[in-house]
Structure 1
Amino acid sequence: MAQLKPVEYNDGEQKLSGLVTKPLKALKSKAGILILPAWMGIDDHSKEVAAELSNLGYYAFVADIYGVGNKPNNTSEAGKQAGFYKKNVLDYQRRIQLALDQLIKNGANPDNVVVIGYCFGGTGAIEAARSNMKVKGVVSFHGGLGKGEARPIETINAKVLVLHGADDNYVPETEVKSFQNEMRTAKADWQMIYYANAVHAFTEKKAGNDNSKGAAYNENADKRSWKAMLQFLKEVL
Structure 2
Amino acid sequence: MTTIDDVLQTVPEPAGADIRVEPVRYDHEGTALLGVLAKDHAVSGPRPGVLVIHDWHGVNEHVEARVTMLARLGYVAFGADVYGEGVRPGDDTAAEVAGSYYQDLPLMRARVQAGLDRLRADPDVDHSRVVVMGYCFGGSAALELARTGADLVGAVSFHGGLIAHDPSDAAAIRAKLLVLTGGVDPVVPDSTVQAWQDEMRAVPDLDWQVVTYAGAMHAFAVPETDAPENGAQYQATADRRSWQALEAFLAEVFGEELATV
Please give the TM-score of this superposition, normalised by the length of structure 1: 0.93
More strand by share: 2
Q: Which sections of structure 2, spanning at least 5 residues, go unmatched?
A: 1-12, 14-18, 255-261
Q: Which amino acid aligns with 1:200?
A: H
Please state whether the residue corresponding to 1:235 is helix, strand or coil: helix
- How big is the shift at 1:25? 4.9
CA–CA separation in structure 2 for the residues paired with 1:211 and 1:76: 16
The answer on 1:85 being equivalent to 2:101 is yes
Which residue of the partner structure matches residue 179 of structure 2?
162
- How big is the shift at 1:150? 4.6
Structure 2 CA distance for partners of 1:162 and 1:150, relative to 1, 3 Å: same
Q: Report how many residues are paired.
A: 235
Which residue of the partner structure matches residue 206 of structure 1?
224
Q: Deviations over 1:105-147 (max 9, x none)?
A: 1121111000010000000111121111111001100000023
Which residue of the partner structure matches residue 189 of structure 1?
207
Which residue of the partner structure matches residue 16 of structure 1?
33
Residues 8-87 of structure 1 aligned to structure 2 (within 5 Å): 8-26=25-43, 30-72=47-89, 74-87=90-103
Bigger mean CA deviation after superposition, 143-152 or 32-41: 143-152
Which residue of the partner structure matches residue 190 of structure 2?
173
Q: Deviations over 1:136-179 (max 9, x none)?
A: 00110000002343554434220000011101011122211110
CA–CA separation in structure 2 for the residues paired with 1:229 and 1:29: 21
Q: Conserved in 2, the CA contact under 8 Å of 1:29 and 1:112?
A: no
How high is the sequence identity, in percent, across the aligned residues?
38
Q: Which amino acid aligns with 1:96?
A: V
CA RMSD of aligned residues (A): 1.7
Please state whether the residue corresponding to 1:221 is helix, strand or coil: helix
Q: Conserved in 2, the CA contact under 8 Å of 1:24 and 1:57?
A: no
Structure 2 CA distance for partners of 1:85 and 1:152, relative to 1, 3 Å: same
Q: Deviations over 1:190-222 (max 9, x none)?
A: 0010111100000111113x6444100101000
Please give the TM-score of this superposition, normalised by the length of structure 2: 0.85
- How big is the shift at 1:56? 0.9
CA–CA separation in structure 2 for the residues paired with 1:235 and 1:25: 24
Q: Conserved in 1, the CA contact under 8 Å of 2:142 and 2:155?
A: yes
Structure 2 CA distance for partners of 1:191 and 1:20, relative to 1, 3 Å: same
Residues 143-154 of structure 1 aligned to structure 2 (within 5 Å): 143-150=160-167, 152-154=169-171
CA–CA separation in structure 2 for the residues paired with 1:194 and 1:63: 26
Q: Deviations over 1:86-119 (max 9, x none)?
A: 1211111111111111111112111100001000
Bigger mean CA deviation after superposition, 87-96 or 146-155: 146-155
CA–CA separation in structure 1 for the residues paired with 2:164 and 2:43: 36
